[in-house]
Structure 1
């Protein structure tokens, strides 16, 4: 599967549980929506993913990728320490100037 570099970097960072590298895939003003919460800016995103990595130890295996007009959609099989693992998650991304500006994760 041919993924944009920023998406490949995101997956590698997640699978290495590297919250700093993960957060650096986002712009300074990026927004993440996950589990009913909003995380604003790179610092909050780094804290959110560090906490999620501790709790869930989730790894991502890309299943599909589609670029639409205003968003990109990544489907992954996500495995970790959570009920129902593995599950398929959908990452709705807005990418601007080769950085993620917005991410919404749905099940």
Structure 2
């Protein structure tokens, strides 16, 4: 799959369970929207991601990419300790200056 390097870095960090590398993919004031909640800034994103990993022990596997340039969506199979696992979710990324400024998961 030919995805933007910063998006690939996000998924690679997630697979390695590397919070520092994952957070580094975001702009300083980046925003994640997941399960109806907003998480803004690297500290909030780190806290969100660590809590999600602790709760669900999930693994995310990208399966399809659409879009290009500064807006791409990645359909991914997410499996872990949660009801209806595995689930197919869309990760909609907005990228500016080589960093993720927005991510909406749904």
TM-score (norm 1): 0.92
Would you identify which runs of 4 or more consecutive aligned residues in structure 1 move more than 2 Å?
none
Q: Secondary structure at the match of 1:94?
A: strand
TM-score (norm 2): 0.93
Cα RMSD (Å): 1.3
| Cα distance in 1, alignment partners of residues 14 and 57 from structure 2 | 9
Q: How many residues align?
A: 106
Please, which runs of 5 or more residues in structure 1 have no aligned partner? none
Check the 8 A contact 2:70/2:96 in 1, yes or no. Answer: no
The answer to whether structure 1 residue 45 and structure 2 residue 42 are counterparts is no
Q: Secondary structure at the match of 2:47?
A: helix
Task: Spell out the pairing of 1:27-106 with structure 2 (5 A cutoff).
Answer: 27-68=27-68, 71-106=71-106
Please, which runs of 5 or more residues in structure 2 have no aligned partner? none
